[in-house]
Structure 1
Amino acid sequence: MRRLWYYARLWKGYMRIGLLILVQYPADTVIWLVSMILREASGFLGVVTIANVAGGLGNWNLYEICLLFGLCAVVEAIGQAFFDCVWEISGSVRKGTMDVILVRPAAPFIQLLGRRFHYPALLSIIIYGAVIVWALAHLRIAPGVGMLLFLIEFIVCATVINSGIYTIFNSFNFWIVQGEDMAVLVQTCREFAKYPLAVFPVLIRSFFTFIIPFGFVGFYPAAFLAGKAGTEVVLTLPLCAGAVGLAAAFIWKKGLGSYDSTGT
């Protein structure tokens, strides 16, 4: 219990530092905020335009596609806000700054995550949360306790899956040293998750279901909410999150154990 309280206070301190960094350069923060909104808006408008021109994608109508896009974007924004420092593994290994993390008493992964918070991504969470509510309203999906519980389950499990996948591929930098391009490629492939996987060939659907399960970050939960999938989604979502989380923890620990400092 004392250890948990220690990490709670440590995380609070990291968040405070992140907030101070945010307000230190207000102009830079505003530019970053505007660029993030424009980037997200362009992606959203692209999907909506395609859906409008094509009259939907497969058997998915405009509002169902907006629901899918909103779910994906919310999870990605949560990862950007609180877990984006997994992308610094490559630089920490290459420059040897991982040594500093290892000599401190706190868990290395907690220290890594606390090095930076992207608070502007909180605005994306609010915006795409509103898109989800808007899409659910147009789909006439009645709110209720069951839906609320599922959305909470989705947020937790999908965040673990999304950030866990990024952690896995960034942790390969312990062996490759400068292999962040592999993680960037995986992040690029994540764009498939913003479209209904049902419109893709079986090979692509299987890949994003069983190999790199980005399908559980948006497609399957959206299909469940839209009535296109059964209750098996409720059961497989935490199973997938558990599998990805364990795999990420295992590869991170193995990589950290093999780290021998590259020096500077």
Structure 2
Amino acid sequence: MFYLKMFFQYVAQYIKVRLQYRTDLLVEFLSDLLFQGVNLVFILIVFGHTKLLSGWSQYEIIFIYGFFLVPFAIFSSFFNIWDFNDRYIVKGEMDRILTRPIHSLFQIILERIELESLLGVVTGIAVMLYSGGKLGIGLHWYDPFLFILFAIGGALVYGGIFIIMAAIGFWSDAKTSIMPMMYNIGNYGRYPVNIYNTVIRFVLTWILPFAFVGVYPASYFLGKEEWYGYAFMTPVIGILFITLSVFLWNKGVKRYRGAGN
């Protein structure tokens, strides 16, 4: 209850601050929509030269992209720790975090929330509804609950991977990190893994399981029965990676010795 109360207090303060700069907030909304629109245009350009991509149709690819936007939006809202090394390790802000009687990772997540990124959830659902309508996808009464479960599982996969990347900073205090490269690799999860070679497919499934953010859970709603097992593994992989990330984070915090000359 204490952590829940702290969460809502942080969110309330964040909303107050953001509403003081409404124009800036509107510009961020528009820039996010433009970015998502560019990705859709890329998919349309690809299918302007072919009707199928490794057996996937244009609207199936668009549906996967729409699903990907939902867990990615949740991740972007609550796991915005891409500059952890530079800000908290190199510049010493971790010292401030550790003086407070609350878990350090929880504090950092709340300090860096960007709730405006949740607009991606609306955009993703809209894209899914559009492409799903074109594909004639039918829904069962339990599908919305599975969708929420898969979306949260995908967000935990993304969050877990990036917390692990951030935790590496406790062992390496270099200003630069591999976060930008990891963001680029994560984009591969928005496309069907069978368009890649065997090595990349293995990496995206078991090493850096970004496929569980997009294509695997989306395949359930697309009726790809051969991938149902992977789809239902999404929340399991999410819990596994977020648990591993918190474990490594706690180990790293114990190793941290503070900023100094």
TM over 0.5: yes
Is the CA contact (8 Å cut-off) linking 2:68 and 2:213 kept in structure 1? Answer: yes
**What does 1:58-137 correspond to in 2, within 5 Å?**
58-84=54-80, 86-90=81-85, 91-137=87-133
CA RMSD of aligned residues (A): 1.7
Find the aligned partners of 1:28 and 1:238 in 2 and give their Cα distance: 35
**What does 1:218-229 correspond to in 2, within 5 Å?**
218-228=214-224, 229=226
**What does 1:187-202 correspond to in 2, within 5 Å?**
187-202=183-198
Match of 2:111, SS state, is coil
Match of 1:87, SS state, is coil
Deviation, 1:230, is 4.3
Equivalent residue for 2:144? 148
Find the aligned partners of 1:13 and 1:185 in 2 and give their Cα distance: 34
Deviation, 1:28, is 2.1
Find the aligned partners of 1:119 and 1:232 in 2 and give their Cα distance: 32
Equivalent residue for 1:248? 245
| Contiguous gaps of at least 5 residues in structure 1 | none
Find the aligned partners of 1:194 and 1:182 in 2 and give their Cα distance: 20
Deviation, 1:126, is 0.7
1:76-106 CA distances to partner (integer Å, 9 max, x unpaired)? 111112221x224211111111111111111
Equivalent residue for 2:12? 16
Find the aligned partners of 2:176 and 2:53 in 1 and give their Cα distance: 33
Is the CA contact (8 Å cut-off) linking 2:216 and 2:231 kept in structure 1? Answer: no
| Contiguous gaps of at least 5 residues in structure 2 | none
Find the aligned partners of 1:192 and 1:107 in 2 and give their Cα distance: 32
Once the two structures are overlaid, the 10-residue window that deviates more, 182-191 or 32-41, is: 32-41
TM-score with structure 2 setting the length: 0.93
Equivalent residue for 1:231? 228
Deviation, 1:213, is 0.4
Is the CA contact (8 Å cut-off) linking 1:58 and 1:199 kept in structure 2? Answer: yes
Equivalent residue for 2:26? 30
Deviation, 1:37, is 1.5
Question: 2:197 is matched by which residue type in structure 1?
Answer: P
Is the CA contact (8 Å cut-off) linking 2:70 and 2:124 kept in structure 1? Answer: yes
TM-score with structure 1 setting the length: 0.92
Match of 1:114, SS state, is helix
Find the aligned partners of 2:155 and 2:229 in 1 and give their Cα distance: 19
Deviation, 1:235, is 3.6
Equivalent residue for 1:206? 202
Question: 2:7 is matched by which residue type in structure 1?
Answer: W
Match of 2:136, SS state, is coil
Once the two structures are overlaid, the 10-residue window that deviates more, 44-53 or 157-166, is: 44-53
Deviation, 1:146, is 3.0
Equivalent residue for 2:134? 138
Find the aligned partners of 2:79 and 2:213 in 1 and give their Cα distance: 16
Find the aligned partners of 2:107 and 2:21 in 1 and give their Cα distance: 23
Is the CA contact (8 Å cut-off) linking 2:69 and 2:123 kept in structure 1? Answer: no
**What does 1:181-192 correspond to in 2, within 5 Å?**
181-192=177-188
1:17-62 CA distances to partner (integer Å, 9 max, x unpaired)? 1112211222322222222221121112112321232213111101
Question: 2:117 is matched by which residue type in structure 1?
Answer: A
Runs of 4+ in 1 over 6 A off after TM superposition: none
